Amino acid sequence: MSTQPTNPNPIHQRRAFAFVMVILLMIVVSLGIGLSMARFSAQTKTVARQVDKYQEHHLGRGLQEAIGAWLRQQNGRDLHEVLEPESGHAMDIVLEDGSEVSVYLRDAQGAALSNLTNLSDIEIEEGGLLLRNLASNTTEDQYLRDTRPFGPYKISIASASDRVLEAAAQIIAGSLADRFLAELGSVRYDDEAITRTQLTQIATSSGLDTDQRAAMFRVFATDIELWAVIIEVRAGAGLQQGHVIARYGGVTQIRVSSTNQSGNPMELGAFITWRELELGDSFDISQLY
């Protein structure tokens, strides 16, 4: 009895082939949906980032105009005279939705300038020595907090850290650095701005010679130009009404003079930096450099 080979049923073959094609089609469709969702998610995040940048950009421009108008109303007075001494509060702006924007200005010129390009030869020499003194007596984190890449060469005594003042005093006073620092401490924490007259008196009390006095006026500022602008936004309605819901900050350079080309007693420069800040009590101006 012979056995004949069994031929596959054509109908079964077609069904099996169709089933495989269905599985493949489902996989392709699933992959397509997954890729589409991934692209959509990426596009959504990109758009959200663009919207945030757009809002921050226009908020910054609007605040520049508002702060500039406020400054012009001060008739050229020293900013220390018009800011609240403890907080540096400058003004409040109420938005259309009832939210309140509080603006604070703080002296941001206490750090040493790390970019010494376009300075005079003597400033480059003194600035380089100051930075080396600072680097040799600080950690990397402290050095970064105590230096800035932009702004005037001169340093604000009032907002400088002890480390910066010590490094500067060594350059200015040499062997008289400790005595000079002690004299600086007598005016450092006053609410009023430090004047040239006060610095001259400090130089005399410290026993500085003519060259050391000249170095003192090169290194230390009496007119503060670099300011940190801190903006806090408080909700005007809802469960968070009155609470800070956003905080922004930037650094701007303000030149104070009797008059300028525009005829205004003060001139507000554009924000050199601008960024969103974390909410919380702690804040360091070095975050804005």
Structure tokens, 246: 């956003």
Of 202, 218, 211, 46, which Cα lies nearest the Cα of 123? 218
Q: Determine if residue 29 is left, alpha or beta; phi over 0 gives left, psi from -120 to 50 gives alpha, anything else beta.
A: alpha
Residue 13 lies in a domain: no
For residues 208 and 182, membership in a common domain is answered with yes
Of 206, 128, 217, which Cα lies nearest the Cα of 173? 206
Of 85, 106, 94, which Cα lies nearest the Cα of 233? 94
Query: pTM, whole model, 2 decimals?
Result: 0.74
For residue 253, give its domain range: 54-107+224-288
pLDDT at 211: 97
For residues 141 and 284, membership in a common domain is answered with no
Residue 230 lies in a domain: yes
Residue 42 lies in a domain: no
CATH of the domain at 254: 3.30.1300
Residue 119 lies in a domain: yes
Last residue within a domain, chosen from 221, 245, 266: 221
Alpha helices in 137-281 (DSSP H): 140-145, 162-173, 177-188, 196-206, 210-219
Say how many C-beta atoms besides its own lie within 10 A of residue 56's C-beta: 15
For residues 199 and 138, membership in a common domain is answered with yes
Structure tokens, 198: 């006060």
- Residue linked to tokens 């970019």: 115
Q: Which amino acid is at 125?
A: E
CA separation for the pair 46, 50 (Å, rounded): 6
pLDDT at 71: 66
pLDDT at 193: 80
For residues 172 and 214, membership in a common domain is answered with yes
Structure tokens, 122: 């003597």
pLDDT at 144: 95
Walk along the chain (289 residues) and give the pLDDT tens digit of each residue.
Answer: 555 555 555 555 555 555 556 566 666 556 566 666 665 555 555 555 555 565 566 666 777 677 767 766 765 677 777 888 888 998 898 888 888 999 999 999 999 999 999 999 999 999 999 999 999 999 999 999 999 999 999 999 999 999 999 999 999 999 999 999 999 998 888 767 889 999 999 999 999 999 999 999 999 999 898 999 898 989 888 888 888 988 888 898 876 544 444 434 345 556 788 888 888 767 789 999 9
pLDDT at 54: 55
For residues 184 and 247, membership in a common domain is answered with no
For residues 246 and 259, membership in a common domain is answered with yes
pLDDT at 57: 62
For residues 128 and 211, membership in a common domain is answered with yes
pLDDT at 266: 40
How many domains is the chain partitioned into structurally? 2
For residues 281 and 194, membership in a common domain is answered with no
CA separation for the pair 138, 286 (Å, rounded): 15
Residue 124 lies in a domain: yes
Last residue within a domain, chosen from 202, 221, 240: 221
For residues 75 and 206, membership in a common domain is answered with no
pLDDT at 260: 42
Residue 262 lies in a domain: yes
Of 28, 9, 7, which Cα lies nearest the Cα of 17? 9
Residue 29 lies in a domain: no
Last residue within a domain, chosen from 221, 237, 270: 221
For residues 188 and 280, membership in a common domain is answered with no
Residue 284 lies in a domain: yes
For residues 132 and 261, membership in a common domain is answered with no
For residues 238 and 152, membership in a common domain is answered with no
Burial of residue 25 (CB within 10 Å: 0-12, 13-18, 19+) is exposed
